[in-house]
Structure 1
Amino acid sequence: MKAQFEKIPSSLSNSFYAFKYENIHFDAPWHFHPEYELTYIVKGTGIRYVGNHIQEFNAGDFVLIGSNLPHCWKSDHQYKDTVKSIVIQWDNDLLGEGWLEKNEFKHIKILLQKSSKGIRFETINSKKTINTLTSILNKNGFEKMLLFLKLLEELSTLNTIKTLTSEGFSPKLNRKSNDRIDKVYDYVQENYSHKIVLSEVSNLVNMGDESFCRFFKKSLNKSFFTFVNEYRINLSCKLLIETNKQVSQIAYDCGYESLPFFYRQFQKFMNCSPLQFKKKYLKMLK
């Protein structure tokens, strides 16, 4: 199916588009475009969706999105401050046709190939990164391009990158499918703390239960309720880190009526228990 593209502003006088985003929340819908995209979160918290991957994001989150890879950031409802990010977008012909085939750019080529699954840069010097990105925003002409290429080269040589989407995922969303997925994301975000009934979700997108389940599985390469549990577990991780609530209260707040089921789902997605997760996080901070 033909993908729905978001139109990225272009200019004959610039090779790439760099801008600062500031708002009361991140509200871009589930979307994709042919351009590559680097997004650095300066302020804000919430859930990041890349392909069929779901993960909590905070300030310092730095992600590279490949061409035509669906993505969006959804702000945490509890986050009351403004949000801010720095975004750079560019197409495959940044330096003209065939530039990635030149030996000088071999590392960047490999990086962009990996970005088809989405990449998160896990160990980044936040101050240095912000300074570099801010410089790119403020410079013009040749100096701006050199800074950007230097940034890509530095990112391409990092050993601590993590690809995001699972094996076998490939974006196959048309405009109608895109709208449906966005509605489902918004519904889960608003109702995760309550029991989610399949018929309510399928009715939301004007589909029968079985048709909806097939559609969702085909679109994201995972079942709808796997998606729901993944969303809830990501939120529970955030509560474990940021609050002193008991595990049982966190499970309830995230929509789990059964504590044993919560523990099984947490183990499934995080490969550890909730308390082990919290201890690992505190140890890492020390």
Structure 2
Amino acid sequence: MRRLTRQHINSRSPEWERDFQRVPDLGYEPEGSFGYVRCLEHGAPNPLIRWHYHEEYELHLIVNTSGKVFVGDYIGRFEPGHLVLTGPRLPHNWISTDLPAEGVKTRDLVLQFSDQPLRQASALLPELRPALPLFERAKHGIEFTGLSEQAYDYMTQIRQCSGLQRLSKFIELLDILAHYPDYRLLSSVQLQSFDDDASLRQISEAVDYITTHYAHPFSLADIAKKLGMSESRFSRYFHRATGNTFTDFVNRLRINRACQLLIETDQYVSTICYNVGFNNVANFNRRFLELKGISPRDYRRQGAERYRQPAKEMI
């Protein structure tokens, strides 16, 4: 038996979920009983409820209790019906704040599936290609609204069947998720494809530059000049590709980096402000509040809860 140590409990880094931890006692289907799609169902408390990540995509449906959800740098509330798709290596945790003393038998319904098989299959089966943009969005965590009842029905059916029938039901659900319009990304922004591939490549170069040099001062005019584009054209294409104005994108990137530093370091808020590229603490606090809904200090305090792990036995 392997126990969660105090180092695990107090660590600020997410724990990598390993295959040997995925045992039936914790709610996983046993090895050899499933194919591409693996089902998980567990109650609370449970040692699986912790700040962690893994290689698989995970479709996560809360069916009982409410509390705080942590996905990447996102902090929010959840309640029954909360449906989220997380991508590979994206840290996440759901912490129930209204858990009764006796616990609950079933809190989560989960589907796990890996990336490469579907991507490789889509190269041969064009019918699978509409799911690829969904996988890209899942890198940031996707919260679906108004889909919980339908997802519950599909996830229950998938758990109850196997073989080709399970795969068929899963593909049906995947198609629904890929085309469902009422969703939001939880962690960060991403580039959207459009017809002008040459301009998209230029915008991608701009994003790479901003991502690398976010802590340094630069302006829209500076980046446009580097790409040989006029400011108006760059501004128009940048908004189309990212869904954000240049200023909003840079602010989001800097605030997301600040979130990481608030959680992973003990630096002063003012120090973090300057380290991520803001030159004014008041402006930093104002932008942080606009984007995250709480102050940097409250984010640090609440963010510490995402690492809370039950001091129970872990197989």
The CA deviation string for residues 7-27 of structure 1, in whole angstroms up to 9 with x for no partner, is 144659611211211234686
Q: Percent identity?
A: 24
CA contact (8 A) 1:16 1:94 kept: no
The 3 A distance-change label for structure 1 pair 227 and 3 is: closer
The 3 A distance-change label for structure 1 pair 129 and 144 is: same
Aligned to 2:51: 30
Q: Which secondary structure does the structure 1 equivalent of 2:53 belong to?
A: coil
Aligned to 1:152: 174
Given residue 150 of structure 1, which amino acid in structure 2 is its aligned partner?
E
Aligned to 2:241: none
Deviation at 1:167, TM superposition (A): 3.8
- After superposition, the CA RMSD in angstroms is 3.7
Q: Which secondary structure does the structure 2 equivalent of 1:85 belong to?
A: strand
Deviation at 1:94, TM superposition (A): 3.5
- CA–CA distance in structure 1, aligned partners of residues 35 and 46 of structure 2: 28
- CA–CA distance in structure 2, aligned partners of residues 150 and 40 of structure 1: 17
The 3 A distance-change label for structure 1 pair 155 and 162 is: same
Aligned to 1:17: 38
Give the structure-2-normalised TM-score: 0.52
Structure 1 position 49 matched with structure 2 position 70: yes
Structure 1: runs of 5 or more not aligned: 169-201, 232-286
Aligned to 1:79: 99
Deviation at 1:210, TM superposition (A): 4.3
- How is 1:85-164 mapped onto 2 (pairs within 5 angstroms)? 85-95=108-118, 98-101=120-123, 102-124=125-147, 126-164=148-186
Given residue 41 of structure 2, which amino acid in structure 1 is its aligned partner?
K
Structure 1 position 65 matched with structure 2 position 81: no
- CA–CA distance in structure 1, aligned partners of residues 34 and 146 of structure 2: 34
Deviation at 1:141, TM superposition (A): 0.8
Aligned to 1:275: none
Structure 2: runs of 5 or more not aligned: 1-12, 23-30, 191-261, 277-290, 304-315
Q: Which secondary structure does the structure 1 equivalent of 2:52 belong to?
A: coil
The 3 A distance-change label for structure 1 pair 15 and 79 is: same
Given residue 188 of structure 2, which amino acid in structure 1 is its aligned partner?
S
CA contact (8 A) 1:25 1:75 kept: no
Given candidates 280, 283, 299, the residue that maps to 1:227 is 299
Structure with bigger RCO (C-alpha 8 Å, 6+ apart): 2
